[in-house]
Chain A
Amino acid sequence: AQSVAQPEDQVNVAEGNPLTVKCTYSVSGNPYLFWYVQYPNRGLQFLLKYITGDNLVKGSYGFEAEFNKSQTSFHLKKPSALVSDSALYFCAVRDLNYGQNFVFGPGTRLSVLP
């Protein structure tokens, strides 16, 4: 079975500091990994994905994520946080052995403090 864990419910960071939002996964086959962001009263917006290739993936709004196969992790990072980055972040995995079923983590609330 496939699963996603986001070990932190809440992450607080000062504006201008680097941020990391953690994600670990479990799949039986090759992992296809995604990060989404959700602002209040909005749907989820796609940030980036890892399918294959370079372990460092760059995405929208200056975010990037590092795929680590040995640690089964896909942490989201940004070198310098903005107050406007405050939102709910979701990691998701898709294992093609399970058809079109995307599995989402529980979400991590990021607060960037001015």
Chain B
Amino acid sequence: ETGVTQTPRHLVMGMTNKKSLKCEQHLGHNAMYWYKQSAKKPLELMFVYSLEERVENNSVPSRFSPECPNSSHLFLHLHTLQPEDSALYLCASSQEMAGGVYEQYFGPGTRLTVT
């Protein structure tokens, strides 16, 4: 489980705050992902970065802003969130190669509560 780390593990923020979630992968992968996991709902893919370029953005509100400075690090910048944004935010990584399909490795998640 130390292959993908996330900080902080828990975060409580007000609706007017600005905070950032951090993800780091130590697996040498070239793709990273942000997911939102809410109670009673399927895992929702938010963003995908491949070779440090954003390749997927699944209609996520602009109050969530991703950043991928290099292949090992991924951030999710948060501002003016809503209470319904409270969820577990999971980071994942995988190795993408032409002609191959590889599994994702997940971090432990950040439990976000918006008050």
Binding site for B on A (CB under 8 A): 32, 34, 36, 41-46, 49, 51, 90, 94, 96, 99-107
Contacts and interface: CB of A to CB of B under 8 A. Distances in A.
Contacts of B106: 36, 43-45
B66 interface: no
Given A46-B103, A100-B96, A41 B108 contact: yes
B48 interface: yes
Contacts of A45: 1, 106
Contacts, number: 57
Given A44-B90, A45-B106, A94 B101 contact: yes
B87 interface: no
B104 A46 contact: yes
Given A43-B6, A94-B101, A103-B45, 8 more contacts: A41-B108, A90-B43, A99-B48, A100-B31, A101-B45, A104-B43, A106-B41, A107-B43
Given A43-B108, A105-B42, A100 B55 contact: yes
A55 B43 CA distance: 26
A106 B105 CA distance: 18
A100 B50 contact: yes
A105 B90 CA distance: 16
A43 B91 CA distance: 9
A103 B104 CA distance: 12
A43 B1 contact: yes
A94 B33 CA distance: 14
Given A94-B101, A100-B96, A101-B56, A42 B42 contact: no
20 contacts: A32-B101, A36-B106, A42-B1, A42-B108, A43-B4, A43-B6, A43-B90, A43-B92, A43-B106, A43-B107, A43-B109, A44-B106, A45-B1, A46-B103, A46-B105, A90-B43, A101-B45, A101-B58, A102-B104, A104-B43
A46 B108 CA distance: 13
A102 B94 CA distance: 11
Task: Please indicate which of the listed interface residues B48, B50, B103, B106 has the most CB atoms of chain A within 10 Å of its own CB.
Answer: B103
